[in-house]
Chains A and B, each alone.
Chain A
């Protein structure tokens, strides 16, 4: 499971343990292997799973906009109060799904959450931002995205995995949800980063100036 999503699942389970949430539904979009990811979520304490089956070439071009539309539709169908996701996926590093899902639903969003508290029917969320920490209040229903320091996820222990086999996973397709998965972004190229040039040890400052001038770094 994407590590940030694991943190999101853990937070959801903690909200349920604190009796703030009543039921947790986990959603995964992908081929048959996504069921294993859902089983891990079920083993951590999620109540039921929804597997949106996307495989083959359709899966290769699945992009955040599609996932956001799927999540938005499911959130409406399931009458969810909170949609919580990881802040970004570690394969594409897009960091877009939470934000777009909130926009599609017209719900408030609290991204990069490092602490979530419920106060008077609203969520008070502490966010990690470049300059430090920002605390905001959002009305429910809302979309939240989990950052690294929100919690440390529990292990999905083997007895829980065995129990999770009995929990239900519903299978749907993007078409059932009315989502068109045609690619909106075309990947032009993927390249390795340029190989690091070896460093050179220079004997004195004069040599350094010569080298800098040669490289055009200094007039």
Chain B
């Protein structure tokens, strides 16, 4: 092309004129109808609709029913009981059932649970699988190289438990309810509400009864305003309300942008002769190349049936837009040392979720007038330990203690109507969460070196041995969405076809998530500009969203009249993983919450 350009500028001019005409005639069908992009205030269809909302006030409102949110709720009620105070604690969760949107490996360090509910074993907490065997290996295409796990390494799992985190969260929910926490699953917090002085007043739950084209249906009902003196946001990785709070209160001014990974997971029932409960296996290397961060996990659970949890995580800082995390996962299962465990087995579940990898460098300011952030909403996952649940729970507990102080201290005078749990940030800095994350802060960024995986493993080994005492802190560099190279600079990847026995196609897998949404509602994957997916994402990056979405939401389909393509959003497939909001190179996709109760129906994932 460049040679032609040099030889005939006329030809180039002619071609670019053709391109301009082609685009302007191309149809860019309207995709986004959600009111966050198409405001209702100026929409004639909404002129006569009553937009009043019913409100109710609690002392503390917790947004999100995961480990962090539940721990905060339980801790608040414990403190209220100990100090003979009455405290109304409400918790909203978008999943239809508590635990329905929870997905994690998971190998949990019980340190936080031991502090929160010391007699968890008597109370029947589903931590049934103590870790007995721990293995770490580097995979090549045909072989497996074991790497010894020395004592003191964060990856050592002695004393930890393999769990089905969805069941643990469900159990935490039962404990919270027993203590008197008001829980409202099936209701999504869709909007943050503010006092006149700019502090957070609470949230509003989603409106229901809006049709796909954005107009009100007969059964339109406004959401409810849940107000509180202090609101704790526990939405998990890349929460959509947390995204707004970062902007509004400039919470990320002094920290690095968060970096992420995507984790995909399956549950299998395997041949009993191959099942060894308590076995924990991690690998790095194949099928990823040396410059793509990621690896697998395989845990044998101690459940009534011979069950294993297997999964794959890929850092979302990958640069080749042809990478499909889902297909890398399916490819991994065919490795000669991994394949045997699946033979004779049956896959019973699938799911995916984004996870935080930024660690220490990416922790934002945690409090703001009216509330604070806990758990993965802030980002406390320990990457080399591959654990975040214990830090999430501890942060929830500390936030609860701080909020309790702010609520009950008669001497403190708050400058704003919404109370800011000011001591929370100090509590975190003085806790083991902080020191743990600080000691491994250089592990993840060390993988951005010319030797990729091998340089990273070498540096990580050293920094973990000296407990992170080196005086420097490595930076993560560019945020994930800026890391994609144009498709023209990268090689397309030929993935093997799924065999239907060990590896599967995407749509069969999505069916296993049990995901469902009310069909007649505006797509909740909103685009700031409907033309960008074809004009930029497809043109420059060959449409990476059709590959990184683990649920097949994004498809480029041919237009009916002209040659060319349009983006089709299958919003009903969405499993709420948030990867698209993170990895879109144009940052054009804004994930908002759909009608509550929709989304995946994970059972003990």
A→B interface (CB under 8 Å): 152-155, 157-159, 161-162
| Closest B residue, CB atoms, query A162 | B56
* Distance between Cα atoms of A153 and B218 in the complex (Å): 11
Among A152, A158, A161, residue most surrounded by chain B Cβ atoms (within 10 Å)? A158
List B residues 204-239 near A (Cβ within 8 Å): 205, 208-209, 218-219, 221, 223-224, 226
* Distance between Cα atoms of A154 and B209 in the complex (Å): 9
B→A interface (CB under 8 Å): 54, 56, 184, 187, 205, 208-209, 218-219, 221, 223-224, 226
24 CB contacts below 8 A, A to B, read A152-B218, A152-B219, A153-B219, A154-B219, A154-B221, A155-B208, A155-B209, A155-B219, A155-B221, A157-B208, A157-B221, A157-B223, A157-B224, A158-B184, A158-B187, A158-B205, A158-B223, A158-B224, A158-B226, A159-B54, A159-B56, A159-B224, A161-B184, A162-B56
Q: Which residues of A contact B219 (CB under 8 A)?
A: 152-155
Q: Which residues of B contact A155 (CB under 8 A)?
A: 208-209, 219, 221
| Closest B residue, CB atoms, query A10 | B219
Q: Which residues of B contact A158 (CB under 8 A)?
A: 184, 187, 205, 223-224, 226
* Distance between Cα atoms of A159 and B208 in the complex (Å): 13
Q: Which residues of A contact B209 (CB under 8 A)?
A: 155
State the Cβ distance, A35 to closest chain B Cβ, in Å.
12
Besides A155-B219, A158-B226, A159-B54, 10 other A-B contacts (C-beta < 8 A): A153-B219, A154-B219, A155-B209, A157-B221, A157-B223, A158-B205, A158-B223, A158-B224, A159-B56, A162-B56
State the Cβ distance, A10 to closest chain B Cβ, in Å.
10
| Closest A residue, CB atoms, query B185 | A36
Q: Which residues of A contact B205 (CB under 8 A)?
A: 158
Q: Which residues of A contact B56 (CB under 8 A)?
A: 159, 162
* Distance between Cα atoms of A157 and B188 in the complex (Å): 11
State the Cβ distance, A89 to closest chain B Cβ, in Å.
18
| Closest A residue, CB atoms, query B206 | A158
Q: Which residues of A contact B54 (CB under 8 A)?
A: 159
* Distance between Cα atoms of A159 and B222 in the complex (Å): 10
Q: Which residues of B contact A153 (CB under 8 A)?
A: 219
| Closest A residue, CB atoms, query B187 | A158
State the Cβ distance, B247 to closest chain A Cβ, in Å.
27
Q: Which residues of B contact A159 (CB under 8 A)?
A: 54, 56, 224
* Distance between Cα atoms of A72 and B218 in the complex (Å): 35
State the Cβ distance, A183 to closest chain B Cβ, in Å.
22
* Distance between Cα atoms of A161 and B218 in the complex (Å): 20
State the Cβ distance, B506 to closest chain A Cβ, in Å.
18
* Distance between Cα atoms of A152 and B211 in the complex (Å): 14
Q: Which residues of A contact B226 (CB under 8 A)?
A: 158
State the Cβ distance, B208 to closest chain A Cβ, in Å.
4
State the Cβ distance, B58 to closest chain A Cβ, in Å.
11
State the Cβ distance, B305 to closest chain A Cβ, in Å.
16
Q: Which residues of B contact A154 (CB under 8 A)?
A: 219, 221
State the Cβ distance, A193 to closest chain B Cβ, in Å.
14
| Closest A residue, CB atoms, query B596 | A158
Q: Which residues of B contact A161 (CB under 8 A)?
A: 184
* Distance between Cα atoms of A153 and B224 in the complex (Å): 19
| Closest A residue, CB atoms, query B224 | A158
* Distance between Cα atoms of A158 and B208 in the complex (Å): 11
Q: Which residues of A contact B224 (CB under 8 A)?
A: 157-159
**What are the nearest 9 A-B pairs in CB distance?**
A158-B224, A159-B54, A155-B208, A157-B221, A158-B187, A159-B224, A154-B219, A155-B221, A158-B205
State the Cβ distance, A6 to closest chain B Cβ, in Å.
12
* Distance between Cα atoms of A159 and B57 in the complex (Å): 12
* Distance between Cα atoms of A203 and B224 in the complex (Å): 63
Q: Which residues of B contact A157 (CB under 8 A)?
A: 208, 221, 223-224
* Distance between Cα atoms of A153 and B205 in the complex (Å): 20
State the Cβ distance, A53 to closest chain B Cβ, in Å.
18
| Closest A residue, CB atoms, query B222 | A157
| Closest B residue, CB atoms, query A157 | B221
* Distance between Cα atoms of A155 and B224 in the complex (Å): 13
Q: Which residues of A contact B218 (CB under 8 A)?
A: 152
Q: Which residues of A contact B208 (CB under 8 A)?
A: 155, 157
State the Cβ distance, A166 to closest chain B Cβ, in Å.
13
Q: Which residues of B contact A162 (CB under 8 A)?
A: 56
* Distance between Cα atoms of A161 and B226 in the complex (Å): 13
Q: Which residues of A contact B187 (CB under 8 A)?
A: 158
State the Cβ distance, B231 to closest chain A Cβ, in Å.
16
